[in-house]
A and B are shown apart, each in its own frame.
Chain A
Amino acid sequence: MKRLIASLLIVFVSTVGGAFAGSLYPEIPKAVGAAHPEGNALMRINHMKMLRHDRDETMRLGNRDTQYSLAECVACHAVMGPDALPISVKEEGHFCRNCHEYAAVKIDCFQCHNSKPDEGFTALLAQRPAASKDEIAAYLDGVTQ
């Protein structure tokens, strides 16, 4: 009897655990461009700080050469719909939406910004090589200040 309960328990735990791992954790679509050299963990924690930092740089100071920009995020992380065109944040499966739904955090960016890349966004991706480690360190210094 004990053995039966134990085996049942194992089956139960494994199915429930499997369900958690399989369905609740967001499925993160692969990006088009090169990977972030600073690692995904850093991006997951800091992307909003970087966006905020760069928005003031661009909007207030007119610096259009920031290391990263929302336009580039949206271009590199574009998810294609059934018509092979990038989908907007209103459609399920959009890169930003996937995680933000999981974390229950509202995205305000796309009230004004386009969640789909501009035409010719592939050219945008080709423009800039990946940042070096020194550049990233210097950039992050700027963000924290």
Chain B
Amino acid sequence: MKLPALNNEAVRPAEMNRRDFFKSGAAVASVTLAPGVTLMAFGGEAHANADAGKRWGMLIDVNKCASDCNACVTACSNENGWKMDGNPETDAQWIRKVDLTHKQTGREASLPMMCQHCEEPPCVDVCPTGASFKRADGIVLVDKHTCIGCRYCMMACPFKARSFVHEEVEDQAAHAPRGKGTVESCTLCVHRVDKGGIPACVESCSATGHGAMMFGDLNDPASDIAIALKNYASIGLRDDLRLNPGVRYTNL
């Protein structure tokens, strides 16, 4: 069950090419305080580009998630401008609530399901045009400029996290373009993350007081999420597939 370390670079140094290295370390200043003691200062970059040194992820505490609460789904819908048409076969599936009951014990659990932002995303493997891709910071996206709507990625995804836009869309949000004939999924609110924000679902979850969702950089050992992951048992869904999802669950 234990997966490779969440730290991308430790496992796959080839992922970070020379250019990324210089980019992510472009503003690193080091000061030698005493022999053997070095102070490293990380300054801001001119651009808030996707940073190969980061890996954005989420930790969801299933115990804190209430089955009657839908705040994350509503927030996502409002933020990204997708709507439910009451037709489960064609509705957008950016995020949905799933209720589980353990067959033997009868324990009930409720959790939000969305793109798990895998380290080894099957949707990227199967995409014939390169539209499905993983950003340097681990966010898995669809480039709708090159998506031809073949839906291979929807078949490949073990989480059913992607959906196809069947009908023409109007009045899209400027930060979330979406249109007929392309596949879409959770973007981890990449437009917010690039500006230093957190995803809309996480924000709404803490606004309701449940605080079941936590967002942060898995590669930063000082981040809340990395500390929580270190201290508490968590699982990635379908760990048997060894996709190393960026979204992890505790108390499931």
Q: Which 5 A-B pairs have the closest CB atoms?
A: A112-B179, A62-B50, A112-B177, A111-B179, A71-B174
Q: Which residue on B lies nearest to A71, using beta carbons?
A: B174
B interface majority secondary structure: loop
Number of interface residues of A (CB under 8 A): 18
Q: B230 near A: Cβ within 8 Å?
A: no
Task: Give the residue name and chain of the A residue nearest to B133 (CB).
Answer: A60
Is residue B173 contacting chain A, with contact meaning CB distance below 8 A? yes
Can you name 15 A-B residue pairings with CB atoms under 8 Å? A59-B145, A61-B50, A61-B136, A62-B50, A63-B47, A63-B49, A64-B48, A64-B195, A74-B174, A111-B181, A112-B169, A112-B179, A114-B173, A117-B174, A118-B173
Does A64 contact B191, Cβ atoms closer than 8 Å? yes
Residue among A65, A88, A117 with the most chain B CB within 10 A? A65
Which residues of A does B touch, CB under 8 Å? 55, 59-65, 71, 74, 88, 111-114, 116-118
Chain A residue at minimal CB-CB distance from B178: A112
Please list the residues of chain B having a beta carbon within 8 angstroms of any beta carbon in chain A. Answer: 46-50, 133, 135-137, 141, 143-145, 169-174, 177-182, 190-191, 194-195
A60 touching B135, Cβ below 8 Å: yes
A111 adjacent to B180 (CB under 8 Å) = yes
In the complex the two chains form, what is the Cα distance from A116 to B143 in whole Å?
Answer: 21
User: CA of A55 to CA of B137 in the docked complex: distance in angstroms?
Assistant: 18
Cα–Cα, bound, A63→B173 (Å): 18
B143, B174, B180: which contacts A118 (Cβ < 8 A)? B174
> Which of B46, B181, B194 contacts A62 (CB under 8 A)?
B194
Q: Is the Cβ of A55 less than 8 Å from the Cβ of B145? A: yes
A61-B145 in contact given A112-B172, A118-B173 (Cβ < 8 Å): no
Q: Would you call A65 and B47 a contact (CB within 8 A)?
A: yes
Contact B48 A65 (CB under 8 A): yes
- Cα(A113)–Cα(B48), bound, Å: 23
A contact residues around B179 at 8 Å (CB): 111-113
In the assembly, what is the distance between CA of A55 and CA of B177, in Å? Answer: 12
Q: Output the least CB separation between B209 and chain A (Å).
A: 29
A102 vs B177: C-alpha distance when bound (angstroms)? 26
